[in-house]
Amino acid sequence: MSTTAVVKKNTYFDSVSLMAISTKANGLDGVAQAFVAMGTEMNKGVLGNLGLLTPELEAAGTGDLMIVAETTDGTDTDAVLAAIEELLVRKAPAGGESAVTYRTIAAAAQDRPDANLAVIAVNGTFAGREARKALENGLNVMLFSDNVPVGEEVALKQLAHDKGLLMMGPDCGTAIINNVGLCFANAVRPGSVGIVAASGTGSQEVSVRVHALGAGISQLIGTGGRDLSEEVGGIMMIDGIRALAADPATSVIVLISKPPAAAVEKKVLAEIATAGKPVVVWFVGGSEEAVVAAGGHFATGSEDAAVQAVRLGTELEAVAGELDTARIDAVVAKLGAEQRYVRGLFCGGTLTDEAMYALLEDTSDVWSNIQKNPDRKLSADSPSTGHTFLDFGDDEFTNGRPHPMIDPSLRLARLVEEARDPEVAVIVMDFILGFGAHEDPVGVTLPAIAEARQIAADAGRHLEIVGYVLGTDRDAPVLADQIAALEAAGVTVTASSTETGQYARAIARKVTNA
């Protein structure tokens, strides 16, 4: 192995672009490991942990671009660097127009007076400053960046509220505004269902389920994951509800969040009475009594939220799917006496929670894990015991690394590790399609699936792998092809995130009671 490092002075790329470029660079012939990132202390810390930090890289500034490639013996490193450089080249937009680069948000706003929204994806140290500049220039903001102090988030959202603007984020990964998908979004048809969500993959899941039921999305407003915390107070969700209440294209509103702070939940639900439209509420682990008392429609899960929204907002007859009990019985018959536990390896946080909460109804050890972990999931270094759920999109996994929807390498390694545990009955995984996601999330996982199944087979065990592909018939890669590839690899494919949790729960219930 040999390591080559290049520092390009005063060369800035946003984090979204660099995550995608790093993933593609890791797929180049002869590349064992590639890292393309800005010269921040956090990124240099990651390189240090990988044993790739050189004095040249250590001296890089926050405005410098670092390119690091660890290559196999005999690889032409100059050719590898040239290929990475090619990935960095920005292509001109379709239609023959020239690409235009602005050095400041103010310059862009002045030159593009018709623009009304800025998508910001810079290091968290600078993200708040740039978001404030956008707001002060009259732009709505989608702030993809994370690691923004909560006090700064509150100040930005209050400024946006005062100006009548949207402040989506920080750590907002998904939005659909006026039929345009931003960051991690799916290709869904336009329609009358509006969504306000403090959850990226949760909002993606509801949007694709609405699409699958024949309806469509008017707007999808992301708030960022901390919006319904005690500190932030639901500023963006409340403003989002009011925006959709005033939107003539929206006939029904869906609210999505992981469990909110109790006081904030009360404030948010109070908006239902004045919305003037049906409001469906899916707060994972939330209170049906509180939602109904506020005049809302309580949803038990993502599929139920989509079904209710379609029924309330259109003339379509929406029907939820049913669990195939015969298939579950067939799986249980293959499992050994030791195999009792479910291991969830997810890219989406809310998809993790939905599957995990499904097991809460039956299994106290899941609840024990939740009590020990404020984030409700075990961490990267925690050994799996009992039913374990990992969200590889958590900050712990993505600190200095691409999101698993872009680079699933950590999850693939964990899949193989979990297959060695003789107590594992089911491994549950999600595969997320859409804008910004990996170009072939199933294809890149198939070798690890084959290895995991072989490990179990060599030990005389059946390993049930359950996969759910989140996407629509309009997404790329093709949804049907991704499903077919999983099924060909022996994976059981579920039809929704809700069914995924129900399927895992049903198996766990049967093996526990066997």
Indicate whether 382 pLDDT > 80. no
Any residues with CB less than 8 A from the CB of 43 and at least 6 apart, and which? 35, 37, 66, 400
| Cα–Cα distance, 123 to 14 (Å, whole number) | 8
Give the single-character DSSP code of 384: P
Mean pLDDT of 17-22: 80
* pLDDT for 225: 92
- Start-to-end C-alpha separation, the chain: 51
> Which pLDDT score is estimated for 379?
53
Q: Which residue has the higher pLDDT, 362 or 413?
A: 413
pLDDT at res. 368: 42
pLDDT band at 331 (very low <50, low <70, confident <90, very high): very high
pLDDT given at position 474: 97
Write the pLDDT tens digit of every residue in 401-455: 678 888 888 899 999 999 999 999 999 999 999 988 888 999 999 999 999 999 9
Show the CA angle centred on residue 161, arms to residues 160 and 166, nearest 5°.
Answer: 55
Is the confidence at residue 278, as pLDDT, over 50? Answer: yes
Q: Average the pLDDT over 114-126 and give the result.
A: 89
The reported pLDDT for the residue numbered 120 is 93
Mean pLDDT of 461-478: 97
Predicted confidence (pLDDT) at residue 321 exceeds the cutoff of 50: yes
Report, as an integer, the average pLDDT of 240-262.
96
Higher pLDDT, 210 or 409: 210
Contacts for 394 with CB less than 8 Å, ≥ 6 apart: 349, 375, 377, 379
Q: Quick one: CA dihedral 488, 494, 497, 501, positive or negative? A: negative
**Which pLDDT band, with edges at 50, 70 and 90, does 62 fall under?**
confident
Compute the average pLDDT of residues 182-195.
Answer: 96
Mean pLDDT of the chain: 89
Output the pLDDT for position 93: 47
Handedness of CA 278, 207, 405, 431 (dihedral sign): positive
Q: Which of 321-325, 343-347, 480-484 comes out lowest in average pLDDT?
A: 321-325
How much is the pLDDT for 369?
A: 46
Q: Evaluate if residue 349 carries a pLDDT over 70.
A: yes
Amino acid code (one letter) for 251: S
Q: Give strand ranges (E) for 184-267.
A: 190-197, 217-222, 252-257
**pLDDT reading at 307 higher than 80:** yes
Question: Which residues, listed in sequence order, are joined to residue 252 by a DSSP beta bridge?
Answer: 193
DSSP 255: E
Whether 96 shows a pLDDT value over 80: the answer reads no
- Reported as a pLDDT band with limits 50, 70 and 90, residue 92 is very low
- Residue given tokens 């990267």 in the structure block: 380
Residue 146 has pLDDT above 50, yes or no: yes
Letter string b/e over residues 101-130, b meaning 16 or more CB atoms within 10 A of that residue's CB: eeeebeebbeeeeeeebbbbbbbbeebbeb
Mean pLDDT of 297-301: 96
At 94 the pLDDT is: 47
Q: What is the pLDDT of residue 412?
A: 92
Nearest C-alpha neighbor of 120 from the set 100, 135, 98: 135
Cα Rg of the chain (Å, integer): 23
The HSE-up count of residue 372 (CA atoms within 13 Å, CB side) is: 11
* pLDDT higher at 135 or 372: 135
> What was the pLDDT predicted at 380?
55
Model confidence band, residue 99 (pLDDT cutoffs 50, 70, 90): low
pLDDT band, very low/low/confident/very high, at 50 (cuts 50, 70, 90): confident
Q: Tell me: pLDDT of 508 over 60.
A: yes
pTM of the model: 0.84
Instruction: Give CA–CA dist 125/446, Å, rounded.
Output: 37
What pLDDT, on the 0 to 100 scale, is given for residue 285?
81
Which comes out higher in pLDDT, residue 27 or 137? 137
Q: Which of 31 and 363 is assigned the larger pLDDT?
A: 31
Say if CB 19 and CB 34 are below 8 A apart: no
Domains of the chain and any CATH numbers = 2-88 (3.30.70.100), 105-313 (3.40.50.261), 325-513 (3.40.50.261)
**Counting beta carbons within 10 angstroms of the beta carbon of residue 404, is it exposed (0 to 12), middle (13 to 18) or buried (19 or more)?**
buried
Of the listed ranges 57-66, 92-101, 399-408, 455-464, the least confidently predicted one is 92-101
Lowest mean pLDDT among 1-5, 154-158, 459-463: 1-5
Give me the pLDDT at residue 97, please: 52
Residue 182 is predicted with a pLDDT of: 94
pLDDT category of residue 22 using cuts at 50, 70 and 90: confident
